Amino acid sequence: MTTAVASSPVLRAHAEDQFVAELVALAKADDRPRPPGWRLSPHAVVTYLLGDVEAGITPKYIGPRRLIEVAVATLATDRALLLIGVPGTAKTWVSEHLAAAISGDSTLLVQGTAGTPEEAIRYGWNYARLLAEGPSPAALVPSPVMRAMQIGAIARIEELTRIPSDIQDTLITILSEKTMPIPELGQEVQAVKGFNIIATANDRDRGVNELSAALRRRFNTVVLPVPASVEEEVDIVSQRVNALGRALELPEVSAATEEIRRVVTIFRELRDGVTIDGRTKLKTPSGTLSTAEAISVVTNGMALAAHFGDGVLRASDVAAGIRGAVVRDSESDEVIWEEYLEAVVREREGWQDFYRAAREAE
């Protein structure tokens, strides 16, 4: 079964376009009850996220099934969903695919920043029409959240904790009353069945604004963990790297599993502050060294191997990228990386090629 659209000039298709064949196939075979406004039943949504080899459904998320079941069940209730996790735990990826499977539209998105205004969550105005006509429905510019309420779809809010607290609290009435007042028009928008909100957040970055108790009560929180094992993380990186390679139309590259395993091992050891065998304690660098960064390092290595190498992913293709991911602070992180190379990599059997490549990359 083809899971992606045919060759397209779009660099990254939306989930509902990229996996349209899978969504259509699931909908045809889906005979379970569907909540009002949903394209698929909760069971089929979970299958879409976690995959089904026999049915030709590729996994979008590799992790505990129960977490995804809880997330999907939450969206079938009147509570919103908050996905929390350290950077790189696939919060955005999961929210996009949940919206695609439930509503068939993952584009109703608010990107949270320190400068996100209230209009991004509620509504704004076409000021030319506002000045010419005064407040009117034609002059109103709906936010993605308002549009989701009007059509009964999932709205997504990325990095909720980056949004200032007073703007965050704009969501309280929306989530509790399922209504958005428009006092300038003496009207309100009432949410159509199928509406809900998926928000993502992490508490590792700077610029985090804590959610008020009133707002947090209106979310059911699901914590997405880092991959539980090396094997699981290798599977995630391999899958995403292959998908990215196809999307970017990179020349064919032999993505050596051994090199991916090395990248994952290095990231996990430095992230956890101890080697895989538990024998050597390590200093932890300032970066997050997330799975997403491991995917980036390997993808960059594949591009190097494809365009400047022999078409085989080697240690020299990933060494420079790993160093760049680890050394974010030129003083403290440089020392940590040097100690890791000398104390761990240099002494590890079968890693001499990587040690040499890492030294040459300096």
The predicted pLDDT at position 1 comes to 35
Averaged pLDDT for residues 24-34: 97
Contact of 99 with 194, CB cutoff 8 Å: no
Lowest pLDDT segment from 49-53, 93-97, 240-244, 322-326? 240-244
Lowest pLDDT segment from 25-29, 53-57, 106-110, 311-315? 311-315
| pLDDT beyond 70 at 2 | no
The predicted pLDDT at position 256 comes to 75
Contact of 30 with 40, CB cutoff 8 Å: yes
Indicate the pairing of strand 80-84 with strand 219-223. parallel
The predicted pLDDT at position 253 comes to 72
Predicted TM-score (pTM) above 0.85 = yes
Averaged pLDDT for residues 259-271: 94
The predicted pLDDT at position 206 comes to 58
For 348, other C-beta atoms within 10 Å of its C-beta total 14
* Tokens (6 digits) for 78: 């009147």
The predicted pLDDT at position 10 comes to 80
Contact of 181 with 188, CB cutoff 8 Å: yes
Q: What is the pLDDT of residues 163-208, one digit of tens each?
A: 999 999 999 999 999 999 999 999 999 999 999 999 999 866 656 8
The predicted pLDDT at position 204 comes to 67
The predicted pLDDT at position 254 comes to 64
Indicate the pairing of strand 154-158 with strand 140-142. unpaired
| pLDDT beyond 90 at 287 | no
Give DSSP secondary structure letters for 52-96. Answer: BTTTTBPPS--S-HHHHHHHHHHHTTTSEEEEE-STTSSHHHHHH
How far is residue 159's CA from residue 208's CA, in Å, rounded to a whole number?
Answer: 9
Return the bridge partners of 187, or none: 182
- What is 70-223's CATH number? 3.40.50.300
CA angle centred on 18, ends 13 and 22, rounded to 5°: 165
Q: Provide the pLDDT confidence category of residue 7 given band limits of 50, 70 and 90.
A: low
Average pLDDT over the chain reads 91
Q: At what angle do helices 257-272 and 332-340 cross, to 10 degrees?
A: 120
| pLDDT beyond 80 at 3 | no
The predicted pLDDT at position 299 comes to 92
How far is residue 239's CA from residue 227's CA, in Å, rounded to a whole number?
Answer: 14
The domain spans of the chain are 70-223, 230-360
The predicted pLDDT at position 207 comes to 61
Helices marked H in the chain:
15-18, 20-29, 42-50, 65-75, 91-103, 127-133, 144-151, 165-168, 171-177, 213-216, 230-247, 257-272, 291-308, 315-326, 332-340, 352-360
Q: Is 210 helix (H, G, I), strand (E, B) or coil?
A: coil
